[in-house]
Chain A
Amino acid sequence: MIEVNGLTKHYGDLVVLEDVSFTVEKGETISIIGPSGSGKSTLLRCINRLETPTAGEIKINGEVVTEKNVNRLRRSMGMVFQHFNLFNNLKVIDNITLAPLTLKMMGKAEAEKNAMALLERVGLAEKRDVYPSTLSGGQKQRVAIARALAMGPDIMLFDEPTSALDPEMVGEVLDVMRQLSDAGMTMLVVSHEMGFAKAAANRMFFMDDKKILEEGEPSVLLTNPKEERTKLFLQSVRR
């Protein structure tokens, strides 16, 4: 489903990712952890080409992502951001229907019906006509997830979806993600919510030193890491 081959990303002289390769199968949930600045966000952003890789190639469903086909391929990849990035100028319902309507994937009636079903699913049907500024952080993130799902993606990318939330709102967002994962969505999740990783992830990547330093089943990697750096990192987040 996702194939990353020799992905390298530089910002000027700064090397953020160096020769990163991995594959993700359909239906897998991958948890990505690692220290700040280790390139987790950059990896996700290269996959849907919000950043242009310096070298290497990325295949989505067997198709190499290029500057030409990126707008089409992005429709099959939803992205959820740390700071939600809901469209401030649009009501909740319009946030969700904007892309399907603009890209002429659905008519208005169908798009709204689809959006309402998604709002139902994230438990926010009654918020359809309010502006994002009136929502709590947890509600914003659930709308953001609904917005990404409205395109009917095969893949969902989550970049620290709960780290900007007050603690009492983390659960409601993780619940939605958990349901998605259980329903067979292919997911890449950058998050330090170890409980979620253990419960939902098939594999866990530990990123450091410009690459995926260690990879394994979450329960194994979390309790019995091989690399010294992974151990140090896990101690620091458990502190």
Chain B
Amino acid sequence: MVGVYMSAWFSDLADQFYRNFIFEDRYRWLLQGLANTLQMTLFAGMIGILIGLVLSLIRVLHKSGAKIGFLNAFANAYITVIRGTPVMVQILIINFVIFASIPVSKLLVASLAFGINSGAYVAEIFRAGINSVDAGQAEAARSLGLSYGQSMRLIVLPQAVKNVLPAMFNEFITLLKETSIAGYIAFTDLTRAGNNIRTLTFSAMPLLLVALIYLIIVMFMTFILRRLERRLASSDRG
């Protein structure tokens, strides 16, 4: 009896697998979605780093006495607004309000939207990183006759970058997962691709596989992060 149920279950499973992934080459939809997700995350990450670096430098320069009150106010407002509103709302606004009548690729819109969002968080990470470098480091550099810019570039920033690497990695992992809402602006990322199949087959399989793919990527990145942390801990700090 049990054997009959089992074989029925297996043949149902095989049938489901066929309908979800093989029929009409549907696995290709997922591959294309995965490629889109990875590209979007990478571009958004780079945009985020760029924005974050600029914002954090503005705030640090302002604190050290540079006369850039206007820029600083802008940076503060940016960070407050982005961190104070849901990322979902932000991408909807960027897509349906700002880019409403501008014909650009969805990849660009999505990357920009998530990059703008990530930038605010990266700015906070960088700022904390710069502040984590002992003020004596910059003072020693200045006391030798180096300019503010030179001591920042040669002494403070290299140490700050090292201090923020783990946090940056975490931000990147978060970003990867957050991009799963890109479907709401009609960008076919991994999640959207899986859901597209589900609407045809009414099967749980495509979304479960999507979840598994995200999990594998995140676990891989976490593994890299752990190794990185161990290497940093055993290197030249102190």
A interface residues with partner B (beta carbon < 8 Å) = 48, 50, 71-72, 74-75, 77-79, 81, 83, 85-90, 98-99, 102-103, 131-134, 144, 147-148, 151
Q: How far is the CB of A19 from chain B (nearest CB, A)?
A: 25
Question: Is B80 part of the binding interface, using a Cβ–Cβ cutoff of 8 Å?
Answer: no
Within 8 A of A (CB), among B130-170: 134, 136-137, 139-147, 150, 154-155, 158-159, 162
Q: Are A50 and B159 in contact (CB under 8 A)?
A: no
Question: Is B24 part of the binding interface, using a Cβ–Cβ cutoff of 8 Å?
Answer: no
Q: Are B143 and A89 in contact (CB under 8 A)?
A: no
Q: Are A99 and B162 in contact (CB under 8 A)?
A: no
Question: Is B238 part of the binding interface, using a Cβ–Cβ cutoff of 8 Å?
Answer: yes
Q: Are B145 and A74 in contact (CB under 8 A)?
A: yes
Q: Give 9 new A-B contacts, CB below 8 A, not counting A74-B145, A78-B144, A132-B236.
A: A50-B142, A71-B145, A77-B143, A85-B140, A86-B140, A87-B155, A88-B237, A90-B155, A133-B238
Q: Are A48 and B143 in contact (CB under 8 A)?
A: yes
- Docked Cα-Cα span, A147 to B144, in Å, equals 9
Complex interface bits, B210-238 against A, C-beta within 8 A gives 1, otherwise 0 = 00000000000000000000000001111
Given A85-B134, A87-B137, A75:B145 Cβ within 8 A? yes
Q: Are A151 and B145 in contact (CB under 8 A)?
A: yes
> Which of B140, B145, B150, B158 is close to A89, meaning CB atoms less than 8 Å apart?
B158
6 interchain residue pairs of minimum CB distance: A133-B238, A131-B236, A85-B140, A99-B144, A85-B136, A75-B145
With a cutoff of 8 Å between Cβ atoms, the chain B residues found around residue A79 in the complex are 140, 143
Q: Are A102 and B143 in contact (CB under 8 A)?
A: no
- Docked Cα-Cα span, A90 to B237, in Å, equals 10
Given A74-B145, A133-B238, A81:B140 Cβ within 8 A? yes
Q: How far is the CB of B144 from chain A (nearest CB, A)?
A: 4
Between-chain CB contacts (< 8 Å), 28 pairs: A48-B143, A50-B139, A50-B142, A50-B143, A71-B146, A74-B144, A75-B144, A78-B143, A83-B136, A85-B136, A85-B137, A85-B140, A89-B162, A90-B155, A98-B144, A98-B146, A98-B154, A99-B141, A99-B144, A99-B146, A103-B145, A103-B146, A131-B235, A131-B236, A132-B236, A134-B236, A147-B144, A151-B145
Q: How far is the CB of A63 from chain B (nearest CB, A)?
A: 14
- Docked Cα-Cα span, A86 to B146, in Å, equals 15
With a cutoff of 8 Å between Cβ atoms, the chain A residues found around residue B155 in the complex are 87, 89-90
- Docked Cα-Cα span, A168 to B212, in Å, equals 60
With a cutoff of 8 Å between Cβ atoms, the chain B residues found around residue A75 in the complex are 144-145
Q: How far is the CB of A138 from chain B (nearest CB, A)?
A: 16
Q: How large is the interface on B (under 10, 10 to 19, 20 to 34, 35 or more residues)?
A: 20 to 34
Q: How far is the CB of B217 from chain A (nearest CB, A)?
A: 31
Q: How far is the CB of B190 from chain A (nearest CB, A)?
A: 39
Q: Are A87 and B141 in contact (CB under 8 A)?
A: yes
Nearest B residue to A94, CB-CB: B154
Q: Are A81 and B142 in contact (CB under 8 A)?
A: no
> Which of B143, B150, B235, B236 is close to A74, meaning CB atoms less than 8 Å apart?
B143
- Docked Cα-Cα span, A87 to B238, in Å, equals 10
Residue picked from A81, A102, A134, A144, most chain B C-beta under 10 Å: A102
Q: Are B238 and A88 in contact (CB under 8 A)?
A: yes
Q: Are B237 and A133 in contact (CB under 8 A)?
A: yes
> Which of A132, A133, A148 is close to B144, meaning CB atoms less than 8 Å apart?
A148
Q: How far is the CB of A46 from chain B (nearest CB, A)?
A: 13
With a cutoff of 8 Å between Cβ atoms, the chain A residues found around residue B139 in the complex are 50, 81, 85
With a cutoff of 8 Å between Cβ atoms, the chain B residues found around residue A72 in the complex are 145
- Docked Cα-Cα span, A112 to B235, in Å, equals 24
- Docked Cα-Cα span, A86 to B155, in Å, equals 10
Residue picked from A74, A88, A147, most chain B C-beta under 10 Å: A88
Nearest A residue to B153, CB-CB: A102
- Docked Cα-Cα span, A72 to B145, in Å, equals 6
- Docked Cα-Cα span, A64 to B199, in Å, equals 79
Q: Are A102 and B140 in contact (CB under 8 A)?
A: no
Q: Are A133 and B236 in contact (CB under 8 A)?
A: yes
Q: Are B236 and A89 in contact (CB under 8 A)?
A: yes
With a cutoff of 8 Å between Cβ atoms, the chain B residues found around residue A103 in the complex are 145-146
Q: Are A71 and B238 in contact (CB under 8 A)?
A: no
Q: Are A81 and B136 in contact (CB under 8 A)?
A: yes
Given A87-B155, A102-B150, A133-B237, A74:B142 Cβ within 8 A? yes
